[in-house]
Structure 1
Amino acid sequence: MTLSVQFLTMISMTAGGFYLGMILDTYRRLSIHWKSSPFMKYFMEIIFWLTQTMVLYYVLFRVNSGELRFYVFLACLLGFSMYQGLAANVYKAFLEHMIRVVTAMYRFCKRTVQVLVITPVLSLVRFTITIAAFILHVLITLLHWLFKIIYIPCFWFFRLVFRMLPSSFQVNLHKVAGFYSKIENTCRKRIKELLSKRR
């Protein structure tokens, strides 16, 4: 490697160490959300370090075609130490501020969606169901009254006609009605027997 490439490698790896310190603090701050699950804790830890290793190696590859030298690790450690000594407290305070801002924005958006979208839609659905139930109740009531208006006169009319019929004809009608009633009862009994046998 030429001196210029070595210099760029040192600068890049120092910046990479600085970046690693920042991203590590960010990860540690956010890891409280999955610390309760041991599986998620180890899984996220592995994913984090694999990802950061690939990022740093990609930077190294862009600078010196991926050649690993001892001073590369020293430069990375130097950048990490510089972050811890110079910028860790400032960055952590900034990170907490950004988390509060993002949380407030999320709550505001959630509340806005709740007020402008979800609540009106739910109110509209409830109103529609109430109107539909009221209309159904009115229709059932009307049908009930219509049935009474039609059924009662017809009932008394046919009853009057039945009484005007000869006695022998009335007896025959009773016999026919009894016959059909027996057929109906027999059919129901057979169906119940068949169903009980299948069980």
Structure 2
Amino acid sequence: MTLSVQFATMAIMVLSGIYLGIAQDTFRRFSVHWKGKRVTSYFLEISFWLLQTLIIFYCLFLVNAGEIRLYIFLACLLGFSFYQALLNTLYKRLLERVIDIFRAIFQFFKRLFILLIIMPLKWIFLVCSSVIIFLFQIVIKLLGFIFKVILFPFLLIGRMLQPFIPEKFKKLLHKSSPIYSTIRIKLKKGIEYLTFRRR
């Protein structure tokens, strides 16, 4: 291994140590979202460290074909210590600022989506449902009018024939009147329910 390769390897390992500190703080910042889930926490923790190991080894492979020496670990530790001593607080502040920016962008697009997509669809639905209910009410009233027109001659004939109806039959009709009243009330409530005119 030439001197230039060794120097490049040390520089890359120092930067890898700094990167490892940044990656760790970023991971710890978002780990609060799955802190109470033990299985998820273990899985993500193991996956995180395996991924960082592969990334650092890949950087080492690009520089010196993956040749490992003791000074490589020392250089990586030096970079990590440098980050913890001088860059840790600054990066955490920067990370929070970036998170706030992305959160604000997300809220903006969320409100924009609600304003441009959800609200128009809601108003279209309300207008269509109002039109359908209005037409349904007209149909119900029209059917009720037609029903009254059809029944009018029979009611007129019944009133004309009322003096000739036997008393026993009148008493039977009088006893049955609660049943017809109940049916009438049920039908009226059903129509009011269907036409959304609840009292």
TM-score (norm 1): 0.73
CA displacement, residues 126-147 of structure 1 (integer Å, 9 cap, x when unaligned): 2211211111111122123223
Paired letter, 1:74:
L
Where structure 1 has 5 or more consecutive residues not aligned to the other structure, the ranges are 164-199
CA distance in 1, matches of 2:152, 2:60: 96
Aligned to 1:105: 105
User: What does residue range 28-67 of structure 1 map to in structure 2 within 5 Å?
Assistant: 28-67=28-67
Instruction: For 1:31, give the aligned amino acid.
Output: S
Write the distance in 2 (CA, Å) between the matches of 1:75 and 1:132.
75
**Which residue pairs with 2:187 in the alignment?**
none
User: Which residue of structure 2 lines up, in the alignment, with residue 169 of structure 1?
Assistant: none
State the 1:148 CA deviation: 3.2
* Match in the other structure for 1:180: none
After TM superposition, list the pairs within 5 Å mapping 1:130-169 onto structure 2: 130-150=130-150, 152-153=152-153, 155=154
Residue 79 of structure 1 corresponds to which residue in structure 2? 79
Hey, what's the Cα distance between the residues in 2 that align with 1:11 and 1:74? 11
Q: Which residue of 2 aligns with 1:128?
A: 128
Q: Distance in 1 between matches of 2:53 and 2:152?
A: 89
Determine which structure has more spread, i.e. the larger CA radius of gyration.
1
Q: What is the Cα-based RMSD across aligned positions, in Å?
A: 2.1
User: 2:194 corresponds to which residue?
Assistant: none
* Distance across 2 between alignment mates of 1:122 and 1:39: 41
1:45 positional shift: 0.6
**Paired letter, 1:85:** A
2:90 counterpart residue number: 90
Alpha-carbon distance in structure 1 between the residues aligned to 2:92 and 2:144: 74
Question: What are the Cα deviations for residues 74-133 of structure 1, in whole angstroms up to 9, with x where unaligned?
Answer: 111111011111211111111111111111121222122122221221122122112111
- Structure 2, unmatched stretches of 5+, are 162-199
After TM superposition, the score normalised by the length of structure 2 is 0.73
Identity percentage of aligned residues: 46
Equivalent in the alignment of 2:16? 16
Q: Which amino acid aligns with 1:68?
A: I
- With 135-144 and 90-99 compared, the bigger mean Cα shift is at 135-144
